[in-house]
Structure 1
């Protein structure tokens, strides 16, 4: 198979949020996802959350959904424990209204319309940027709620080696290893991991085929993940850089199912990409990128009582090729103009016979960023010409003003769209080839700044108010037994966040208040959209004690409903996690985590269980020259 190379317009070396020693200052992270160009997080006018490798290890997160839980505007519904499908709702929009990128490459299933974030190996991730709000004017389809971009480990500098081994409750075990380096001009990283767990009973079962898993299989549903990451690059000069990357994961997940749906899934995700960054002239940067992503899912059925061993049920396969040309021109100091072209080709195959099994999309976009004293202006416009649903134009405008006291006020407006999936267009007995893209327009007001904590402390705060209206939403039309553009929604929300570092103490808090209102005509008008809690709150507290560190996370989620009619209520819940770490030597650390301390029973999807109290230990080793 030919693996073209892909979009790494966004794979330039990034500064990460690193906590320096006591005599140094904290460096602000640089983000690229919000504008497709590097900029300090404090200067972007978008609502952005950055999670770097230090925070991933400090929180001892075991999966991407676990890591994203409690971020402002993020709600998660998972159908079982580790490795089971996780839906990410960003600012109350649908799970398929979130664009997911890995090192700049668009990933996910073109049949389902979502990306399997639960299967991404967290040990291979260096940082995550979550941009909330519409971004179709830069990325095209799907970015109604926002964009989640995952960056893999890059390497660079002296040769280093790392390894970890861990285990815990539910027969959980993990092992990972990696090596990185490259010197001053090059960079490379090679890493691999294996994770497994016996899991929990994913579903309580129900006699109804339309509730939960529709069957009763009171067994433990295990999960296994194998991941590999390779990334390398070289800066030939200040005017020429090359970067290549590969991420692959293979997964097996048991679930409660039947002979018709299967009860074992085997999934594979792979992303291959490369980019060349050139500077023909000092103010002009050209980024050429290409890549390939592959999402494969197969279902099997195993029944020991009937002596059926891995009986094949069905398969779905998505292949995506993407090419990109981006030009960034520094017009004047503080002013950047961007002009680019993206090309995407989707192909699907498997056991389902679609009337059409491929489509392409050509997107042309432009962006202007200007700083005029205390004022910032960002404008972007894009046209996508899709083979199946024609042309679509989206835009975004943002204006910010920095007051003398350090408080920044911003106002933004953006439009976005999402093209129908192959299932919505062509799935036998359900698809409708006449569907139009879903459309949205959003308005946001933001306010934020630094906390006045004195010379021995630092902190930031922010608050955002937003409203998103979505038209032509695709839903099941009972009279025609097919998908149709019959739904609409209005989502209003408030997000507030704050963080502070006071000597060896770190505190962070996030609050989201959400009103995801169904505006469709009929009996469900005015109801809440399913599986989105109306309130979420997270509070983190961490303290350093020389070789010791300890922390805790409090997460609170309000009620939600599992159905459009709002008859099936899922109660709110409160989770407390504890963590500790001891540095045996500067290179060797022992970590411990206690999840769900009070053994809270809760559901984020009706009849699907979530893990109870669990404990984990991890031993991490990292060798660097001079580290003793």
Structure 2
């Protein structure tokens, strides 16, 4: 990045901060700049007093609105001065509205609602795309929901940047705009975390990894994060947890057009946008994202010398569309598709540089779903999908002077069916089944004898989950107990059948301070990847066809609390333990080649703590979290028994503060990570690091047009650090972006 470009970006950030301080508006103009949050409140269940999550709160006759968060709270920003009718809607509850709500220039109108439950009539939609459902207080599972509003407020451009500061998560990053980003949940390996889009698995059977930098944020409604074993609902690959990305097909749409453009360090240029079209009961969404980066950035070498990280160029194109129909055969139907193409340089690890290597990714994902209520008490959901992922790697002069040109084609298709039976308001039975085909073709263009060829796996699964809420009328401390037993069976074509039972329980206290005691137990498993089984021996590595599936037992106990004092407070402490048997680990042999082996066992245990505060009026938001992790290797071997598993930090800590006044906002993030060992014997490690980021922006409102200018500074202190060994991360970087919503 040139000195001139850096100077321009710094001046731009200063300009944003300067012009955003109180601006006098001409009297009489409703569209002038307003205090950010104009209408706020809480939506509760009138029968139980519990917060309602995901209710749509709309300003009648306008495009303004919001959805309630995990506390049932909502905040509607930038509403012009005037008198309005506020309407709230939620599935399974009677609609409510309040008239004559007055919005003034320098205040926030508080409007609370209590919705009464009602019997859902035939043809309505319950939930689709997610099996966890939106988080509710009694749920014994450790589920975190990142709302649409939180996504919009983040400074991230993709899923990896959004998740890196979330509690209990750790994003592995190979560095720079071209670096791949994969995720760990509470010390798991990245290939033990299941990534879903509307309930459909993205992980390929080749390596079970998903590059989170390839998933844009524009079409995401909310994200569910299950932090303990999820094999009961999802089958293989959920040993560490599940991240379910739910798109905006259920949302009451308010923006018809969204456009965004940005520029930043290392030659970054990006543009994204989307639009919404409606024809009667048919709704169509289209989104796109285009990014380009020269990518090269300066870093300090192992000897302290300033060098340039080359071959880090990057460009991609992401297209997404979705069509929904409100009434087909008495239910709701959708069809969506994503097409992604990226080309990036692969610089390689330090001391093993690949200055001319290039990687091309092409991915297509198409899925269709239909959800219907069969009668007053039963619903049926059906999803079919097809996806194809093609990856080409080319390196004419790698570090061992053996040229490489390879291609891997992954295809997956299948069907998921799920039914819900409501025996009463407090008893629900969820039954489901799935069939999936994974196949891969690996080709070595230079040495065909080293090609993996075509391999295939068929997997059939069935599951059941019963949710039962029991009242405790004579108990002064807890008002109800929630039970959730479940079981799943899977029959993969290349391994023996396996079962995954689970059980969850929570005790809940309702009052000014709400308390929930939670506990879960679950068995999990993960089938070996195609690379692990079938990699043809070359100068680097060889596969192991004798691998056994990984198997785990996940236990968790915790307490969650929430209340109101000058705003909304929430806090939680969770103790977790994940005992994994036959852990698959790529180990370097005496011949210098890597081969996957089953480690006897590993134990991931620790404590996760979090506290958050959101003030009345949404002027201040604070979030803090910390995780203590012990990832112990129980291999039974002298040099590795009792050692810490590589690349698992013992301590991680996150803090963020967001302040909003008028049309200006400022957000500060802080992340601390302790040292990580890089060898099984714990003989080498990479040091810990602390990273600070700052975002600031200003909002303008012109009638129904909303304009936002935002500037971001990443790694403010210009810290030198690595997340993975010999993959340096960029120093201080800048970004400016402008967005328009109509």
Q: Tell me the TM-score normalised to structure 1 length.
A: 0.88
- 2:385 equivalent to 1:291: yes
CA gap of 1:510–1:183, structure 2 versus 1, over 3 A, is farther
* Alignment RMSD: 3.0
Match of 1:161 among 257, 263, 266: 257
Aligned to 2:288: 192
Using the TM superposition, name which of 568-577 and 258-267 deviates more: 258-267
Structure 1 residue 184: Cα displacement: 7.8
Aligned to 2:371: 277
Secondary structure at 1:65 match in 2: helix
Contact 2:442 2:452 in 1 (8 A): no
Aligned to 2:347: 256
Contact 1:550 1:580 in 2 (8 A): yes
Aligned to 2:166: 71
CA gap of 1:499–1:33, structure 2 versus 1, over 3 A, is farther
Match of 1:371 among 469, 493, 499: 469
Alignment of 1:418-437 (within 5 A): 418-429=526-537, 430-437=542-549
Contact 1:204 1:607 in 2 (8 A): no
CA gap of 1:289–1:567, structure 2 versus 1, over 3 A, is same
CA gap of 1:163–1:144, structure 2 versus 1, over 3 A, is same
Using the TM superposition, name which of 475-484 and 400-409 deviates more: 475-484
Alignment of 1:44-123 (within 5 A): 44-123=139-218
Secondary structure at 2:741 match in 1: strand
Give deviations 1:44-69, integer Å, cap 9, x for gaps: 22212222332223121123221111
Match of 1:568 among 684, 695, 707: 684
- 2:740 equivalent to 1:621: yes
Structure 1 residue 432: Cα displacement: 2.7
Give deviations 1:334-357, integer Å, cap 9, x for gaps: 111011111110010131533651
Structure 1 residue 461: Cα displacement: 1.1
CA gap of 1:339–1:422, structure 2 versus 1, over 3 A, is same
Give deviations 1:328-380, integer Å, cap 9, x for gaps: 10012211101111111001013153365111000011110011111000111
Aligned to 1:470: 580
Structure 1 residue 163: Cα displacement: 0.4
Give deviations 1:239-268, integer Å, cap 9, x for gaps: 411011112221111122589996111112
CA distance in 2, matches of 1:375, 1:402: 6
Aligned to 1:8: none
Aligned to 1:362: 460
Alignment of 1:202-217 (within 5 A): none
Match of 1:229 among 314, 320, 324: 320
Aligned to 2:75: 20
- 2:455 equivalent to 1:340: no
CA gap of 1:319–1:325, structure 2 versus 1, over 3 A, is same
Give deviations 1:511-536, integer Å, cap 9, x for gaps: 11111111112111111111121111
Give deviations 1:387-410, integer Å, cap 9, x for gaps: 001201011100100024521001
Match of 2:631 among 506, 511, 516: 516
Structure 1 residue 121: Cα displacement: 2.4
- 2:477 equivalent to 1:385: no
CA gap of 1:238–1:545, structure 2 versus 1, over 3 A, is farther
Structure 1 residue 300: Cα displacement: 2.0
Aligned to 1:5: none
CA distance in 1, matches of 2:453, 2:395: 27
CA gap of 1:50–1:367, structure 2 versus 1, over 3 A, is same
Using the TM superposition, name which of 559-568 and 325-334 deviates more: 559-568
Contact 1:203 1:256 in 2 (8 A): no
Secondary structure at 1:72 match in 2: coil
Aligned to 2:614: 501
Alignment of 1:522-537 (within 5 A): 522=637, 523-537=639-653
Aligned to 2:563: 451
Aligned to 1:9: none
CA gap of 1:296–1:284, structure 2 versus 1, over 3 A, is same
CA distance in 1, matches of 2:130, 2:694: 36
CA distance in 2, matches of 1:72, 1:417: 24
CA gap of 1:476–1:509, structure 2 versus 1, over 3 A, is closer
CA distance in 2, matches of 1:37, 1:129: 8
Contact 1:159 1:182 in 2 (8 A): no
Secondary structure at 1:118 match in 2: helix
CA distance in 2, matches of 1:160, 1:81: 33
Aligned length: 595
Q: Is there any run of 5+ residues in structure 2 with no aligned partner, and where? A: 1-53, 57-66, 77-107, 116-125, 398-402, 445-450, 472-479
- 2:712 equivalent to 1:593: yes
Contact 1:33 1:149 in 2 (8 A): no
CA distance in 1, matches of 2:676, 2:733: 25
Structure 1 residue 597: Cα displacement: 0.8
CA distance in 2, matches of 1:205, 1:578: 26
CA gap of 1:153–1:223, structure 2 versus 1, over 3 A, is farther
- 2:494 equivalent to 1:398: no
CA gap of 1:183–1:331, structure 2 versus 1, over 3 A, is farther
CA gap of 1:356–1:509, structure 2 versus 1, over 3 A, is same
Contact 1:449 1:461 in 2 (8 A): yes
Match of 2:414 among 319, 322, 331: 322
- 2:521 equivalent to 1:413: yes
Q: Tell me the TM-score normalised to structure 2 length.
A: 0.75
Secondary structure at 1:92 match in 2: coil
CA distance in 2, matches of 1:84, 1:408: 40
Contact 1:570 1:603 in 2 (8 A): yes
Structure 1 residue 25: Cα displacement: 5.5
Using the TM superposition, name which of 525-534 and 256-265 deviates more: 256-265
Q: Is there any run of 5+ residues in structure 1 with no aligned partner, and where? A: 1-11, 207-215, 304-310, 624-628
Secondary structure at 2:294 match in 1: strand
Aligned to 1:540: 656
Structure 1 residue 282: Cα displacement: 1.2
CA distance in 1, matches of 2:173, 2:569: 33
Structure 1 residue 238: Cα displacement: 10
Using the TM superposition, name which of 186-195 and 535-544 deviates more: 186-195
CA gap of 1:27–1:619, structure 2 versus 1, over 3 A, is farther
Structure 1 residue 124: Cα displacement: 3.6
CA distance in 2, matches of 1:314, 1:13: 49
Contact 2:130 2:244 in 1 (8 A): no
Aligned to 2:698: 582
